[in-house]
Amino acid sequence: MSANDEPSIFTRIVAREVPADVVFENDRIIAFRDIAPKAPLHLLVVPKTEAYRNVTELAAGDPALLAELVATAQQLADEHSDGEFRLVFNTGPSAGQTVFHVHAHLLGGQLSEGTLGH
């Protein structure tokens, strides 16, 4: 759980407590459209576990899950874009992270103005 013992918005999406435009799901990962897209393709690729707050914790704690997340991002870029993409992990509040449940922003096409917060 997060520091305040409340489930993250992403955990609530996994539990279907909060609606999302889900484009991919398996037993370990879920991907859905960002509600404030910064590119023509802007998906959030999220491990279902809330055990890792950021990508460095995920890399240290479950490198296979990180590899699966990256492979899923490639698959989604192949399906929804031209296969070329940016994969952004915000780590820490000053880097724009507002949801402390590790996730990647999958961006395809030209970026819009603004930051990639979450």
CA dist 7 → 81, 94, 100, 101, 107 (Å): 32, 22, 10, 9, 26
Contact status, residue 33 vs residue 13, Cβ threshold 8 Å: no
Domain segments of the chain as ranges = 9-108
Per-residue pLDDT of the chain (118 residues), as tens digits, is: 444 578 999 999 999 999 999 999 999 999 999 999 999 999 999 999 999 999 999 999 999 999 999 999 999 999 999 889 999 999 999 999 999 999 999 999 877 766 566 5
pLDDT score, position 6: 87
Fold of 9-108: HIT family, subunit A (3.30.428)
Residues annotated as catalytic are: 103
